[in-house]
Chain A
Amino acid sequence: MNRDAGKRPFVRLRGVHKRFGDLQVLQGVDLEVARGEVVVLIGRSGSGKSTLLNCVALLEDIEAGTIEVDEAVISCGPDDLAALAPKTRRAEVAAEIGMVFQSFNLFPHLTVLQNITLAPRRVRRMSSEEADTLALRLLDRVGLREKANEYPVKLSGGQQQRVAIARALAMNPQVMLFDEVTSALDPELVGEVLKVMRQLAQEGMTMLVVTHEMRFAREVADRVIFMDQGEIMEDSPPGVMFTNPSTEEAACFLRVLMDAEAAE
């Protein structure tokens, strides 16, 4: 483990601004996530949660501020270019960031096994035997070893999402980003995906999770963050956020969400 673990946050966003055209989507986001911490992001649709994760995953550039992971600035606005880590270091760090999407995004023309082994082979230069062994071990872990040679089309949504998690884990990430990974699933399939995520959290994975699964957030999160209109409005432990949120916006959002949950 890192000697500095606990001292310096593993993920650190400072003053992150992002806009699409005239639409300001992130307006100065400051966020720190320690190694091994599980942080859940909640907020209305359109509040910028996905954009935040995409910026950390380097899928989007930012207009201002810095994003630091594992002590390297991997993304910044034009004013902070001096702080940016060298290109090779950025690539190293980028490979430590895993991400899972709402829509699974498995590669439809590749088998489950090939989906998992492609990046380890091409990016990590593993031999195909090594990569296969790794993939089968990860499939065991998500309970899908027997599907190794199936195409994604043949799998249920829950199974596809578990393969997507295994595919991300195959790159041995140090932090995992989850963007509403259960929102596209039928209710009876949500549990199997959350179970895998719980297990990851218990093993000490650093996780940044956008979800509307309030029970998961209550049980697994170290902190819950409420976003509104591209800003972090509240950052509290789940016990506080769900019982006694300090902002009216968060309280209002949670009331609606709890009512919806109770109605199910």
Chain B
Amino acid sequence: MDGFLKIASDIPHIAAGAWITLTLTAVAMAIGIVSGLVLVFVRLSRVPVLSQVAIAWIEFFLLTPPLIHIIWAYYVLPIVTGWRLDAITVCALALSASVGAHMAEVFRAGLQSIPKTQHRAADVLGLSVIDKYRFIILPQTLRVILAPSTNVLVSLLKDTSLAAVIGLGEILHRAEVTASSNFLFLEILTFVAILYAVLNYPLILLARRLERRSLRGFASV
């Protein structure tokens, strides 16, 4: 407890970084969901070339760490292209690309989990493709993907801490700067870990609830 009293005066400054953390999370989630949807429909469309480009894009961002994208876009891109983006834009884009790739996979698994027979039943009733997706396929997909989507969100919130490497003033960066001036690394980093857990905890609870619900709905179809 002693240690935490010592850093009490630093806490508001560090905690204020949560705004940047949460903003980055929200922006990357929004862009990630939209781009993930686009990617999965392009991929599943089987349009030659386009579909392969989508697959390559998804796999690249699934297989490579967002930390490298951040460093690359911040330090290398300006050298190669003369184009300089500010730190928050770099982080938002890099995290969006990662979330987009993960969401594309979540959507794909969700869409493919809907049995072909549901498509046939809708087709034989004469529903248009749009109506089939709107009323039959997407509502069922949504129930399946709620829980895994929440997991992507939880990972994203933690990954925003990568922004610290290029000096963006989110939680971890503020903590590092503060700790390197007062040398209370143990106390400050412990506090930071707790702060991330507190921010993420509601999401985990949500994920668990959604998971139970989606299992219930599909138990005996």
Are A and B a genuine interacting pair, yes or no? Answer: yes
A153-B220 contact, Cβ under 8 Å, with A59-B123, A101-B120, A118-B135 = yes
| The stretch of A37-45, A80-88, A102-110, A131-139 that contacts the partner chain | A102-110
Closest CB-CB distance, B167 to chain A, in whole Å? Answer: 48
A105 near B117: Cβ-Cβ < 8 Å: yes
Chain A hits for B79, CB < 8 A: none
The answer to the question of A152 belonging to the interface, with a C-beta cut-off of 8 Å to chain B, is yes
Q: Chain A residues near B140 (CB, 8 Å)?
A: 107-109
Stretch in contact with the other chain, from B16-24, B33-41, B57-65, B124-132: B124-132
Asked if residues A105 and B118 are in contact (CB atoms below 8 Å), the reply is yes
Enumerate chain B residues within 8 angstroms of A91, measured Cβ to Cβ: 126
Let me know if A254 is at the binding interface, CB within 8 A: no
Which one of A58, A97, A153 lies within 8 Å of B221 (CB-CB)? A153
Query: A208 at interface (Cβ–Cβ under 8 A)?
Result: no
A177 closest partner in B (C-beta): B124
Report whether B127 and A105 are in contact in the complex, using a CB–CB cutoff of 8 Å.
no
Task: Confirm or deny: A48 has a beta carbon within 8 angstroms of a beta carbon on chain B.
Answer: no
Tell me the number of A-to-B contacts counted with CB atoms below 8 Å: 60
A122 to B126, CA, bound (A): 9
For A126, list chain B residues within 8 Å (CB): none
**Smallest Cβ distance from A112 to chain B, in angstroms?**
14
B136, CB-defined interface residue at 8 Å: yes
Q: A101 contacts which chain B residues (CB < 8 A)?
A: 117, 120-121
Q: Please state if B220 and A105 are interface contacts (CB–CB under 8 Å).
A: no
A189 at the interface (CB under 8 A from B): no
Give the CA-CA distance A54 to B221 in the complex, in Å.
Answer: 23
Which residue of chain A has its CB nearest to the CB of B124?
A: A99
Q: Are A107 and B124 in contact (CB under 8 A)?
A: no
- Which residues of A from 33 to 60 have beta carbons under 8 Å from B? 54, 57-59
Interchain CA distance A30-B47 in the complex, whole Å: 36
Q: Report if A95 contacts B (CB, 8 A).
A: yes
Q: Bound complex: CA of A106 vs CA of B140, how far in Å?
A: 12
How far is B126's CA from A99's CA once the two chains are assembled, in angstroms? 11
Report yes or no: A108 in contact with B120, Cβ–Cβ below 8 A: no
Contacting pair B125 A171 (CB below 8 A)? yes
Does the CB pair A109–B143 fall under 8 Å?
Answer: yes
Binary CB contact string for chain B from 193 to 221 against chain A (1 if under 8 A, 0 otherwise): 00000000000000000000000011111
B143 and A119 form a contact (CB under 8 A): no
The B contact surface, by secondary structure, is: helix
**Distance between Cα atoms of A121 and B219 in the complex (Å):** 29
Q: With A108-B217, A109-B139 in contact, is A122–B131 under 8 Å at CB?
A: yes
Contact A122 B120 (CB under 8 A): no
Docked Cα-Cα span, A106 to B124, in Å, equals 12
A123-B125 contact given A107-B136, A108-B140, CB 8 Å threshold: yes
Contacts of A205 in B (CB 8 A): none
Query: Would you call A230 an interface residue if the criterion is a C-beta within 8 Å of the partner chain's C-beta atoms?
Result: no
| CB–CB A167/B217 < 8 A | no
Q: A153 to chain B: which residues have CB within 8 Å?
A: 219-221
A245 CB within 8 Å of chain B? no
Q: How far in angstroms is the closest Cβ of chain A from B162? A: 38
- Chain B positions within 8 Å of A233 at CB level: none
Tell me the complex Cα distance, A106–B117, Å: 9
**Residues in A whose Cβ lies below 8 Å from that of B218:** 108
Enumerate chain A residues within 8 angstroms of B118, measured Cβ to Cβ. 105, 107
Quote the shortest CB–CB distance from A25 to chain B (angstroms). 17
Bound: A119/B112 CA distance, A: 23
Q: A109-B140, A153-B221 are in contact. Are A118 and B125 (CB under 8 A)?
A: yes
Q: Does A94 contact B (CB under 8 A)?
A: yes
- Could you say which residues of chain A place their CB within 8 Å of the CB of B126? 91, 94-95, 119, 123, 171
Selected from A59, A110, A152, the residue in CB contact (under 8 A) with B124 is A59
Nearest-neighbor residue (CB-CB) of A108 within chain B: B221
Chain A residues closer than 8 Å to B219, beta-carbon distance: 153
* B143 vs chain A, min Cβ distance (A): 7
Q: Please report the C-alpha to C-alpha distance between residue A91 and residue B135 in the assembled complex, in whole angstroms.
A: 20
* Cβ-defined contact, A98 with B221, below 8 A: no
Chain B residues with Cβ under 8 A from A107's Cβ?
Answer: 118, 121-122, 136, 140
A122 touches B124 (CB 8 A): no
- From residue A110, how far is it (CB to closest CB) to chain B in Å? 8
CB neighbours of B139 from chain A (8 A): 109
Shortest distance from the beta carbon of B54 to any chain A beta carbon, whole Å: 26
15 contacts between A and B (CB under 8 A): A99-B124, A101-B120, A103-B117, A105-B121, A107-B121, A107-B136, A107-B140, A108-B221, A109-B143, A119-B125, A122-B131, A122-B135, A152-B221, A168-B124, A171-B125
